[in-house]
């Protein structure tokens, strides 16, 4: 293979990057990363097991939690091979087709996770702001239909991404700045006009993640307004504590996703460290904290977990 900086090089592979300048301690860095992956996979698997085996949890809010856990599991699994391959074995190479497949699944799963977070915010909004009609509005068949629509939306907007990239020849430096592939970075490696990819990728991010985050924000504004006006001080604090926890988890998902989309397009060399940090936050933190925020903090669900493991 020719040098990575040879502009005439038609790349057969991309080279992924761990933490620049810390290659000598990658093996030690892999320990907390492995631990985070294990906790994420075990935590989300426990949620799936509890909800699947307990008929009393077959309600809209727990079905949405089930969907979120499935998405987080798949998102973790989609990056484990390349991320741990770099830190444990210094295996940096990834073929074009493998890279295109990985970025498709990453972007597809992040679109689905965004839709699940939106549905969970809508569920919380109906439960607090219109509790008398909650059972009539959020039925299980309706939840299933809405999630199917959002899954199809995610497929429709992300399916073109690998094909838009596959038409290019790659002759620029083939070193990526993350330990996994992202569309907005891979397209910059092409020796061709990437205007279509640039506009399409940014439009997808704004239409999906941008719109979903705006609707979630509006939902929580209405929730805060209702909670503060109709409940006692103690109940308001309890509800606000739950809502703030949810919002923190939501921000830890949306800020890195939208931030990476913007920085890769409009950032400069000084923003490289921020790219790396946001990349690891985006992949490692949401799957780790979602089981805690959305299940352990729920008294009812926590009791089910304790009862399942005490038996």
For residue 35, the tally of other CB atoms under 10 A from its CB is 11
How do residues 129-184 score in pLDDT, each as one tens digit? 888 888 888 888 999 899 999 999 999 999 999 999 998 888 767 888 889 999 98
> Is 7 domain-assigned?
no
> Is 2 domain-assigned?
no
Kindly tell me the number of DSSP H helices and DSSP E strands found in the chain. 12, 2
CA dist 153 and 225 (Å) reads 31
Please, which residues bridge with residue 13 across strands? 95
> Is 144 domain-assigned?
yes
Q: Would you mind telling me the total number of residues written for the chain in this entry?
A: 311
By residue range, what is the domain housing residue 115? 13-310
Contact 183, 165 (CB under 8 A): yes
CA dist 159 and 151 (Å) reads 12
> Is 17 domain-assigned?
yes
> Is 3 domain-assigned?
no
Triad 64, 38, 120: Cα angle to 5°: 15
35, HSE (Cβ side, Cα atoms, 13 Å): 6
> Is 25 domain-assigned?
yes
How many domains are there within the chain?
Answer: 1
Mean pLDDT (the chain, rounded): 85
How do residues 274-296 score in pLDDT, each as one tens digit? 888 888 888 889 999 888 887 77
User: Which pLDDT score, from 0 to 100, does residue 59 have?
Assistant: 86
How do residues 175-215 score in pLDDT, each as one tens digit? 888 899 999 889 988 888 888 999 999 899 888 999 999 99
> Is 4 domain-assigned?
no
Show Cβ contacts of residue 9 under 8 Å, excluding neighbours closer than 6 positions: 1, 2, 3, 171, 174
* CATH code of the domain in which 106 resides: 1.20.1070.10
User: What token pair was written down for 172?
Assistant: 């620029």
C-alpha closest to that of 67 among 40, 53, 50, 48: 48
> Is 1 domain-assigned?
no
Predicted model pTM: 0.89
């Amino acid at each position: 293979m020719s040098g990575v900086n040879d502009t005439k090089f038609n790349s057969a592979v991309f080279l992924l990057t761990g933490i620049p300048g810390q290659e000598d301690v990658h093996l030690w860095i892999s320990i907390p990363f492995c631990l985070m992956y294990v906790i994420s996979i075990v935590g989300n698997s426990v949620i799936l097991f509890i909800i699947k085996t307990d008929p009393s949890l077959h309600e809209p809010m727990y079905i949405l939690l089930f969907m979120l856990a499935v998405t987080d599991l798949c998102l973790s699994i989609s990056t484990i091979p390349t991320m741990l391959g770099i830190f444990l074995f210094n295996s940096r190479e990834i073929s074009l087709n493998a890279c295109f497949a990985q970025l498709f699944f990453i972007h597809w799963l992040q679109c689905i996770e965004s839709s699940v977070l939106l549905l969970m915010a809508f569920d919380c909004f109906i439960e607090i702001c219109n509790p008398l009609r909650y059972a009539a509005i959020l039925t299980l068949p309706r939840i299933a239909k809405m999630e199917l629509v959002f899954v199809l939306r995610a497929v429709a907007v992300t399916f073109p991404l690998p094909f838009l990239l596959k038409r290019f020849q790659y002759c620029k430096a083939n070193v990526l700045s993350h330990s996994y592939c992202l569309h907005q970075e891979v397209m910059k490696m092409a020796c061709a006009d990437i205007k279509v990819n640039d506009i399409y990728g940014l439009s997808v991010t704004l239409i999906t993640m941008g719109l979903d985050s705006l609707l979630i924000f509006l939902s929580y504004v209405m929730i805060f307004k209702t909670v503060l006006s109709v409940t006692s001080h103690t109940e308001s604090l309890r509800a606000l504590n739950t809502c703030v926890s949810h919002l923190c988890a939501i921000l830890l998902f949306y800020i890195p996703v939208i931030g990476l989309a913007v920085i890769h397009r409009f950032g400069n060399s000084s923003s490289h460290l921020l790219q790396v940090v946001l990349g690891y936050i985006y992949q490692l933190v949401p799957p780790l904290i979602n089981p805690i925020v959305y299940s352990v903090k729920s008294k009812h669900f926590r009791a089910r977990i304790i009862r399942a493991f005490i038996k």
